[in-house]
Amino acid sequence: MKKYIFISGGVCSSLGKGLAATSLANLLESRGLNIQMIKIDPYLNVDAGTMSPYQHGEVYVTDDGAETDLDLGSYARFTRATIRKENSITTGQIYQSVISKEREGRYLGRTVQIIPHITDEIKRRISVVGKRPGIDVTLIEIGGTVGDYESIPYLEAARQMGSDLGPENVLFVHLTLVPEVGGGELKTKPTQHSVKELRELGIQPDMLILRAPRMLPNDMIHKISSFTNVKKDAVIVGYDLTDTIYELPLVYREQRVDDIVIEKLRLHAKEPDLTRWAAMVNILKHPDKTIRIGVVGKYIHLPDSYKSIYEALVHGGIANRVQVDLVKIDSETLENLSKKDLKERLSGLHGILIPGGFGTRGVLGMITAVEYARTSGLPCFGICLGMQIMVIEYARNVLHLANADSTEFKPETTNPVISLLEEQLDVTDMGGTMRLGKSESHILPDTRIHTSYNNEIIFERHRHRYEFNNSYRDPLTEAGLIISGYTPEGELVESVEWSDHRWGVGVQFHPEFKSTPIDPHPLFASFIKASIDHAAKT
Ligand code: GLN
């Protein structure tokens, strides 16, 4: 029988439900179980593709080209589970399919209602993932907070699955907050109210995870257990972690979260093996030294906008046993700086990364930062928009095409070194129409990127509309830009690098989505290595 774990949240948002879900999944994997994860987003957007990174943080892209919530990236970093389109469910998708079925006349004249039609569609989608071959447990994170109107159909579907499948097959985890008020006193009342609200919807949680500033005393756990009807052992404290979030599975293991799940769901599992994970956490807690990397982008003010990039940089640090300090620089603030002031702003850095982005704002500052890196020998890593900026900068300052630009920023430029492919020219529909998902690239031997991957054929994910304009391949190559990666037939440029430079690499794809703390991405590992070497020489 397939098992399901629902994770809901109460009190307020941003308590780290995604991290709780994925840490629990990590722990179950360490016991030899095969898991799947689903994120439910109760908004009406069909996917996260059209949402601003300022509204909702980064858009995470899967191999099969789904544009999803950033929690799926967190699942990919903590677990080995494959993540595809179906692992991300939104209210937009649910209504879209129910309404198209209604238009096709498939409800045979019945009135179409939230219960049972919407809830049935939710259950169907959960089961599609849960019933994948070889899967033991599926964890479903229900976005939002209990009490929101938007979440009600999902909680109802979860309740129904609980009674359809029986208590040994479905487990409910509820995450709440134990806040500290003036004088350092910890408060249990919000938890009490939140569990009450969940029970009013017909769900008795089997486990509580309490976000708290520190471990809670035994008598408080006892009190929470008695007023929520959750066994004392199953009241878990997810206390604040000071060093690294990757420690969370170890914190859960200490409190035997896995044993509780395994017993309740009557699973057969081996003893936990967290050796590699614990060794990785140990590196993060006791690094050999610290390296400072500047991330020069436009969505810097929201910590989640470049989530996977920040994490991948940390992973590059793990590969080299160093701590990576991220210096987040709003590219707009670099515009119009004098050479001296620019040097002052960037001189303490050991490497810079230019991440992806859309639209004109901040582009000039990115070009300025790239020029500084190229001419001063500072390692530079351009990702997607970042690569396009590296090409524009090279065309302007080395090839002396002063008006070189991307048609995204200046449609009428006479030197469009980055431009749209024919097939993108007529696109009017903005949802899901970019070049998206996994594809193959071939890389040239004796290049930085080749040394990093140690492979000529690589598979990475894309999310962009604009491309390197092939008319500029020859002049840019002659001027010294190395075009190091192509699509298999050679029609599109996938990566560029600077000759005569310690490390200057731009890639059109998004390597950050495939990096994990256990398996740091080779490009990030190589970039951090170059930054360490740069630090040693300056
Ligand atoms: N705006 C650029 C494009 O559409 C880059 C996109 C990105 O960085 N993800 O091609």
**Ligand 1 centroid, distance to 396 Cα (angstroms):** 20
When pLDDT is cut at 50, 70 and 90, the band that residue 167 belongs to is very high
10 Å CB burial of residue 326 (0-12, 13-18, 19+) is: middle
For residue 324, the model assigns a pLDDT of 98
**DSSP secondary structure string, 129-194?**
HHTSTT--EEEEEE-S-BTBGGGHHHHHHHHHHHHHH-TTTEEEEEEEE--EEGGGEE--HHHHHH
**Ligand 1 centroid, distance to 138 Cα (angstroms):** 34
**Ligand 1 centroid, distance to 390 Cα (angstroms):** 13
For residue 411, the model assigns a pLDDT of 94
10 Å CB burial of residue 110 (0-12, 13-18, 19+) is: exposed
For residue 50, the model assigns a pLDDT of 77
For residue 6, the model assigns a pLDDT of 98
384 in active site: yes
In a domain, 77, yes or no: yes
510 in active site: yes
Q: Which CATH number fits the domain that encloses residue 444? A: 3.40.50.880
Nearest protein CA to atom 5 of ligand 1, as residue: 385
Catalytic residue among 464, 501, 510, 521: 510
Mean pLDDT of the chain: 95
In a domain, 420, yes or no: yes
Question: Do 511 and 458 belong to one domain?
Answer: yes
Dihedral, CA of residue 94, residue 97, residue 99 and residue 102, to nearest 10: -130
Ligand 1 atom nearest to 434, measured from its CA: 4
Q: Which of 224, 259, 278 is the last residue of a domain?
A: 278
Q: What is the pLDDT of residues 206-255, one digit of tens each?
A: 999 999 999 999 999 999 999 999 999 999 999 999 999 999 999 999 99
Position 68, amino acid: T
Question: Do 264 and 340 belong to one domain?
Answer: no
**Total number of residues shown for the chain:** 538
In a domain, 314, yes or no: yes
pLDDT surpassing 90 at residue 182: no
pLDDT surpassing 80 at residue 431: no
In a domain, 262, yes or no: yes
Nearest protein CA to atom 7 of ligand 1, as residue: 356
pLDDT surpassing 90 at residue 48: no
Q: Which of 250, 278, 306 is the last residue of a domain?
A: 278
- C-beta separation of 295 from 47 below 8 A: no
117 in active site: no
Indicate the top mutation candidate among 58, 465, 493, 508 to test ligand 1's pocket, ranked by most ligand atoms within 8 A of CB: 465
Predicted TM-score (pTM) of this structure: 0.95
Which residues 6+ apart lie within 8 Å of 395 measured at CB?
Answer: 401, 404, 415, 417, 472, 476
Catalytic residue among 117, 156, 384, 494: 384
Task: Tell me how many domains the chain contains.
Answer: 2
Question: Do 369 and 274 belong to one domain?
Answer: no
**Strand pairing partners for 495?**
485, 507
For 178, the domain range is 3-203+242-278
Ranking 65-79, 155-169, 422-436, 516-530 by mean pLDDT, the lowest is: 422-436
For residue 284, the model assigns a pLDDT of 97
% of the chain beyond a pLDDT of 90: 89
| Spatial separation of the C-alpha atoms in residues 121 and 114, rounded to whole Å | 10
In a domain, 337, yes or no: yes
